[in-house]
Structure 1
């Protein structure tokens, strides 16, 4: 009997219960931000946000809306805990990752509260596995203070265009330079690697461009080592929103459609490596 249809036994003891008929709808999203072992989970009535950070310079957030789950119950305004993301993904894929949709793994995730483990009940083909993962004291996460009122430039691209770009970029470069402008070159990606400088331009009327809102010319550099993990989300996504604010901070928001056709979002924030005052020719 699927976990989502089993009688609720002892659920009163949990402050968070979430059911999924297909665990891959969760594991695939979490893989898109899995570049460090630990993550901080924030649960509210709207769903769960999972945050991973690196070097105080980059942050990734996966947003799993409550509507993605077949059942989602939370008894407090907010629930926060830190968890080993590597272990969580190992548990979520305990039945393997290549199962056919007809034999998808069902998940029931339960959490009693501070100091307690997260308990996972995974069922496939009548076999139920129970995993308990210790939680840790949540750490303060970075506040990039990235608000829409300070956004200078924003474009929305079909992801295939950016995937092709990352495949062509010179990864021996330490930085990726991004130019966004209301005038030519409009949107330019530049690298400075062993084989010299390389530029890739996107006209604002490109078939790949879904929206173009640039108010002033900005050129900023970002460490490629910080941006590389975001290619995991890029590989899964269908669209990507690229925004920069008045400080040159970068937001990459990926729209990902899961196996059931539902939409989730993964967002990466990255601070600039250095500011470029002069425009590249």
Structure 2
């Protein structure tokens, strides 16, 4: 009916926050989109061994309106009375990202010097759009099932409209992850994990092996890799570094400063054992962009060895004013089969012999 409202109408005060989240999962050409009253979920996968999703909560938008299309009455021979599934479709993720940065303002790294690119919230200047009062809006509409996804970007007096073709969704099973049966969990800074993955890339590795254990009552988390150019290992623990100064020579401020905990949370289902799980390095590396912009990351491994990385990313709030809010990007990885190959026990031996030795700092 022509009088029916669009299925989705969402208005954001800035396309940058949407671009930042969606770019974290831009390793696939198409994305599975799911619309709901809570927000938009974009999901991508690769060969059923890796999947990632970014959820755009309705709080990211200044205006968010979702109207589910009318449901046809069930047939007489159907006894399925369950609620209808969420509205879903496929879309070209690359085309959507190109649309969101059509004005060239959504990627701050392009116009900022290298030493200032680590700050996701650049300082406003006298020529910034928010200071000059320029209108910068992103409007997303979806009229009905099968219709294109319309993205309208407005900057000052310039308005650009793009209609992105939607495709019939291809349903694939999600990688199962048992949140109720975890073998390991830790929370740390996303930038620290990003630096560790970057360090390990120097060996051109094919496999990334993860270890976790308790050493003298202290948590120890390690990543190791072996490639054609050698091997490398990075360890994280909460043990303070050994001071080379005598107690009488230490400054009062240094003596009262608590040690920095690299691992905010550390949980092992069995503290007396060593957790060991391996994953394809090239897949883990595809989450590097999310690591680089995340404030924190939760690393979890269930009893089947499936790895879950949940990244907490701070983006600009819909109301603006310099405030920020938290959004999440999730990755899941299927483990490699442990074939007890060469070096299979090497990492465990290193973990057992490390016993808190802080002399092998990789950064």
Task: Provide the TM-score with structure 2 as the length reference.
Answer: 0.71
Q: What residue in structure 1 maps to residue 89 of structure 2? A: 81
Query: Which shifted more, 94-103 or 40-49?
Result: 94-103
User: 1:273 aligned to 2:336?
Assistant: yes
Q: Deviations over 1:49-82 (max 9, x none)?
A: 1001112100000011111111111112722110
Equivalent pair of 2:48/2:175 in contact (CA under 8 Å): no
The 5 A counterparts of 1:1-281 are 12-76=4-68, 78-97=86-105, 100=128, 102=130, 103=134, 105-171=136-202, 172-183=204-215, 186-205=220-239, 207-216=261-270, 217-260=274-317, 261-275=324-338, 278=345, 280-281=348-349
Indicate the SS of the match to 1:56. Answer: coil
Shift in Å at residue 47 of structure 1?
A: 1.1
Cα distance in 2 for partners of 1:151, 1:113 equals 41
Indicate the SS of the match to 2:14. Answer: coil
Indicate the SS of the match to 1:174. Answer: strand
RMSD: 2.1
Cα distance in 2 for partners of 1:71, 1:12 equals 18
Q: What residue in structure 1 maps to residue 72 of structure 2? A: none
- Closer, same or farther: CA 252–230 of 1 in aligned 2, 3 Å: same
Shift in Å at residue 276 of structure 1?
A: 6.6
- Closer, same or farther: CA 229–128 of 1 in aligned 2, 3 Å: same
Cα distance in 2 for partners of 1:113, 1:12 equals 9
Unmatched 5+ stretches in structure 1? 1-9
Q: Deviations over 1:95-119 (max 9, x none)?
A: 1135745257311100022211001
Indicate the SS of the match to 2:225. Answer: strand
Equivalent pair of 2:191/2:293 in contact (CA under 8 Å): no
Equivalent pair of 1:219/1:276 in contact (CA under 8 Å): no
Cα distance in 2 for partners of 1:173, 1:199 equals 12
Cα distance in 1 for partners of 2:138, 2:9 equals 10
Cα distance in 2 for partners of 1:80, 1:90 equals 21
Q: Deviations over 1:125-176 (max 9, x none)?
A: 1211111000001111332221311211100001221122122113511011
Indicate the SS of the match to 1:198. Answer: strand
Query: Which shifted more, 183-192 or 110-119?
Result: 183-192
Unmatched 5+ stretches in structure 2? 69-83, 109-127, 240-259, 318-323, 350-363
Shift in Å at residue 124 of structure 1?
A: 0.4
Indicate the SS of the match to 1:175. Answer: strand
Indicate the SS of the match to 2:205. Answer: coil
- Closer, same or farther: CA 68–233 of 1 in aligned 2, 3 Å: same
Find the structure with the greater CA-based Rg: 2
Equivalent pair of 1:23/1:104 in contact (CA under 8 Å): no
Cα distance in 1 for partners of 2:212, 2:144 equals 45
Count of residue pairs the alignment pairs up: 272
Equivalent pair of 1:106/1:122 in contact (CA under 8 Å): yes
Cα distance in 2 for partners of 1:191, 1:270 equals 17
